[in-house]
Chain A
């Protein structure tokens, strides 16, 4: 069964790809084996993360990106992640509505995913879904997600290139960007650039990038203030080696999309030329392994807790002050640790 599915996926059957992603999402039996087998076929796609505040125009831009890539003869995979209700687990996944430019084109594979509950593993599921698309042979893979919260940041960090979308006049949004998203952007797009306030937003972003580089005073000293701002238009060397360019786009009118894709390609080239792509990949795999270990470990622990009749009794004892959380943790983990150490010494 899983053999067939992997074979069919590699042979380019859309249904198989869709089913594999479902298995990954549901963590159905056999999904681990599938992903393991797919791994050797991956590593050929450019993975691009797109994030930004709600209403920034992510879905529309992604739609136009996909269409432009298709014009260039490239195949595209999109994973769009939407929040789900923490109460019912239900979700309305609406990003697909904007995918109007790729009607009936199966070579744009669009998949909506919901951030299912706290059982988590969303970043694992996304990584694995990206692998499925990569192994299927997609040239470009786009991960689209709302840029709020650590979860989402973790997700886009899995991309080779991360683009952050900012709508104009977004004083508050720029504030939000400070909190963690600014740091992960390789490219900025000021979308809806035909609206009032776009220039100002570009200006604000520029200033922030300068702060981020921590070179405001330094560059002013070297080149004078005008030159410093000039330089920011194009990526060029400094400590980090890459200054995020700011591209203005009007996605719904298809303006600036080519320039945006150029900026993404430039970043890719930079990664490859400086040998940083390999470094990013290493970081990613390191993170992947650690996340997986944590998940598997906690599953093993759940098993142990279940075996001991659940957590409730411990909870009650902690509440009665008969014991404390640390002692409980030691008690539960102790045998495990002992077992591991004994094995090691053998």
Chain B
């Protein structure tokens, strides 16, 4: 890719799953991604894992950013990842998790296939750079 005339735009889904109703962070990140030139699809609040899977598959996003502040990441993230696998969408989607994640769980999430976990205070530029560097190379 890249050699072609039209440059590729990075597409991201910023997702809020479960009962957690705090989306200030998700808004700020959506905005920052937009300003970085990404196309951002925001899921809205209180989405079920299946909805996130549906959106990821249909929108064919390069990056799925899951924001969870409720502590339910242990159940929600695996569900999403299973769903993505079901539709062959896991392999070439960069899955990120943001929110309050204890260190022990961080490791666990990464073993599941989450590329990176960003906690509170993670610099925006760091996330943008991470996405740019790690976005799956599809052709």
Chain A contacts to B: CB under 8 angstroms: 1, 14-15, 18-19, 21-22, 25-29, 84-85, 88-94, 96-98, 100, 103-106, 109-112, 114, 116, 119, 299
Contact = CB atoms under 8 A, between A and B. Distances in A.
Interface residues of B, number: 35
B33 A90 contact: yes
A26 B5 CA distance: 9
Contacts of A27: 4-6
12 contacts: A1-B139, A14-B58, A28-B4, A85-B34, A88-B34, A90-B37, A90-B39, A92-B40, A96-B42, A97-B43, A98-B44, A112-B41
A125 to B, nearest CB: 10
B40 A19 contact: no
A22 B92 CA distance: 13
A4 B139 CA distance: 13
Q: Is the interface of A mostly helix, strand, loop or mixed?
A: mixed
A97 B42 contact: yes
A91 B51 contact: no
A26 B60 CA distance: 12
Contacts, number: 100
B89 interface: yes
B88 interface: yes
Given A18-B60, A111-B58, A92 B51 contact: no
B50 A103 contact: yes
Contacts of A105: 54
Interface of B: 1, 4-6, 8-9, 11, 30-31, 33-44, 48, 50-51, 53-55, 57-60, 87-89, 139
Contacts of A14: 57-58, 87
Contacts of B55: 96, 110
B42 A94 contact: yes
B71 to A, nearest CB: 23
Contacts of B44: 96-98, 100
A93 B54 contact: no
Nearest to A116: B9
Contact of B51 (A93, A104, A111, A116): A104
Contact of B6 (A1, A21, A26, A98): A26
A34 to B, nearest CB: 14
A171 to B, nearest CB: 31
